[in-house]
Amino acid sequence: MSGRIARLRNLVDTNYGTHRGLVRYLLGQFEAVVGPAHRFRALDAPAVSRLVFVCLGNINRSAFGHAVALRDGLASTSIGLATTTGAPATPAARKVAREMGYSLDEHQATAISDFQRASGDLLLVMELRHAHRLLARGVPADAIALLGHWARPMRYHIHDPDTLSIEYFRSCFATIQAAVQGLATELKAANSPSAEP
């Protein structure tokens, strides 16, 4: 029995970060099913001129999303809701990004207080609570989207990997990479200004 529990715990830790990450993932999926059909999932591609990846620290998830978007030729940047401008990506983020063929070595965080939102920005959040914090700051709902909507399978909560296992970093970054690439395909097909050379 203890072997099964250990395997289950390992499965949760690798795919969701922690049991709290699993609970938030399930709540996010539930809200996507029972909540408003298009809330934080709609995309008006021709109106999107820049992608803005958002998380708390801008040192793991949003930093990596930004790197993937740049590689895919998308106009993009990234910010943190609770960070210090200039903070570097974490060592674990740099390591896993490098394994996946990206570099975060030059990344420097940008605090939301130092960010100037522009017309045509689509703010891509990792969690529903990030969307709510942006709404509270006056960002219109149609300028916010859950990045995990473009992952396959869809994942409306991408848990923060900070201080968690390297295995979860890999799982988290693979989800982000897939979501950004799925979004890039959709933007390019719609001739979005964000995808113009």
Residues in the chain: 197
Q: Give residue-wise pLDDT tens across range 114-124.
A: 999 999 999 99
Q: What is the pTM of this model?
A: 0.91
Name the CATH topology of 2-195: Rossmann fold (3.40.50)
**Type of residue at 164:** L
Cα separation values, 189 from 104, 185, 186, Å: 28, 6, 5
pLDDT at 66 over 70: yes
Domain positions in the chain = 2-195
CA 160 to chain centre: 9
Q: Give residue-wise pLDDT tens across range 101-155.
A: 999 999 999 999 999 999 999 999 999 999 999 999 999 999 999 999 999 989 9
